[in-house]
Amino acid sequence: MSRLPPGKIPIDILKEVVFKNLGAERKEVTVGPQAGIDGAVLDFGEKSAIVSMDPITGAVERIGWLAVNVNANDIATFGVEPAFLFSCMLLPEGADKKLVEVISTQMGAAANELGVAIVGGHCESTPGLANPIVVCCIMGLTEKGCYVTAGGAKKGDKLILTKSAGIEGTAILATDREKELQNTLSASVLRNAKSFWNQISVVKDALTAYRTGGVHAMHDPTEGGVAGGIHEIADASSLGVKVYEEAISVQLETADICRHFKIDPLQLISSGALLISAEPQRANEIVGSLKFQGIQASVIGEFLENADERVLIRRGGGVEVLPRPASDNLWTALMR
């Protein structure tokens, strides 16, 4: 039996193993575990609770800050404000008080900025760990039924991308592989790349789009990058998709780093970007609302009826199958 690739478990194993072992059925569960949907919906009376969980494993420099923001992003993609967070902090053997303080301070600052309360969790020194891992569970509350999921895209919807591809991967590689990249990138490019951490949150992106109207689905492309995130929306919505490469923004710093590591920016972890499936007649209005808030956005494709039709139109006009990453290209770069 072959070993699992780094990162997310392949979708076939999720379906064949994980999703067949979900415990008891509860009437409160309106949206449970599904491929491509990064959260659950639990209905309690007149309220819906949106709940999600994510780990931070591939970044060390700002792990606490990332743990809060990446999890908050998942709630925001439902069109709901993140509110309550639980954290599980797993530290390497030999970790000291200073590491606990650094991670906790980062988490506290990030949560305060987003209006999120950290309400519980766990912290331990874990045998066998080389680097810290932070896992968070986050919740948001809304009126019953007032949300969207990644599985709500409809045939003919326009696909919108905010910001650009590979944002988080750019920040991680510029920070964790700074010495190596100094031999290739200019000081200004490397400095700008390290500042990509400031683009990680999509809470403003998602809430702006949802409140504009016409949004059917949203998803933040984390592991697997923009290409993987598009597949996840299409999977969850049982649709095909046509994507135009020339419409996908890739910032200079990302392009330079990907060229150095010989990786694809469309398959590089992209927290900070947001994918939006919108009614065709409202797409330009949504893009306009985002730009009014200072958020770059563009229509990069559309959803198709045939779920087997997933195509990428290259800049030169060639048509290819939209790549589905077996593993995020971040791991390819980090393991070099």
User: Which of 143, 170, 197 is where one domain is finished?
Assistant: 143
150 located within any domain: no
Looking at residue 10, what is its pLDDT?
Answer: 86
Looking at residue 117, what is its pLDDT?
Answer: 98
**Could you give phi then psi for residue 146, rounded to 5 degrees?**
-90, 75
CA–centroid distance for 267 within its chain:
12
C-alpha to C-alpha distance for 111 and 145, rounded to whole angstroms: 26
Q: What is the DSSP letter of 280?
A: G
Instruction: Give the H or E element holding residue 302.
Output: strand 297-304
Tell me the CA distances in angstroms from 166 to 129, 163, 233, 290, one per residue in order: 27, 10, 18, 19
For the chain, the domain total comes to 2
Question: Cβ distance 335 to 327 under 8 Å?
Answer: no
171 and 139 in one domain? no
Angle in degrees, 0-180, between the axes of helices 167-176 and 187-194, rounded to the nearest 10: 120
5 located within any domain: no
127 located within any domain: yes
pTM for this prediction: 0.91
Q: Is the dihedral of CA 97, 98, 104, 109 positive or negative?
A: positive
* 3 residue type, one letter: R
198 and 321 in one domain? yes
Looking at residue 122, what is its pLDDT?
Answer: 97
23 and 65 in one domain? yes
Question: Cβ distance 263 to 332 under 8 Å?
Answer: yes
246 and 185 in one domain? yes
Looking at residue 237, what is its pLDDT?
Answer: 95
User: Which of 79, 108, 143 is where one domain is finished?
Assistant: 143
Looking at residue 60, what is its pLDDT?
Answer: 72
Q: What is the pLDDT along the chain (336 residues), one digit of tens a residue?
A: 678 888 788 888 999 999 999 999 999 999 999 887 889 999 999 999 999 999 988 667 789 998 999 999 999 999 999 999 999 999 998 899 999 999 999 999 999 999 999 999 999 999 999 899 999 999 999 999 999 999 999 999 999 999 999 999 999 999 989 999 999 999 999 999 999 999 999 999 999 999 999 999 999 998 899 999 999 999 999 999 999 999 999 999 999 999 999 999 999 999 999 999 999 999 999 999 999 999 999 999 999 999 999 999 999 889 999 999 988 999 999 887
275 and 313 in one domain? yes
**Could you give phi then psi for residue 144, rounded to 5 degrees?**
-55, 125
59 and 208 in one domain? no
Using CB atoms within 10 Å of the CB of residue 6, give its burial: 0 to 12 exposed, 13 to 18 middle, 19+ buried.
Answer: middle
117 and 45 in one domain? yes
70 and 121 in one domain? yes
173 and 107 in one domain? no
133 located within any domain: yes
Buried b (16+ CB within 10 A) or exposed e, 307-316: eeebbbbeee
195 and 91 in one domain? no
309 and 184 in one domain? yes
Looking at residue 37, what is its pLDDT?
Answer: 86
88 and 183 in one domain? no
- The boundaries of the domain holding residue 79 are 11-143
User: Which of 109, 143, 177 is where one domain is finished?
Assistant: 143
Looking at residue 35, what is its pLDDT?
Answer: 80
C-alpha to C-alpha distance for 23 and 35, rounded to whole angstroms: 18
149 located within any domain: no
Question: Cβ distance 303 to 237 under 8 Å?
Answer: yes
Q: What is the CATH number of the domain that holds 266?
A: 3.90.650.10
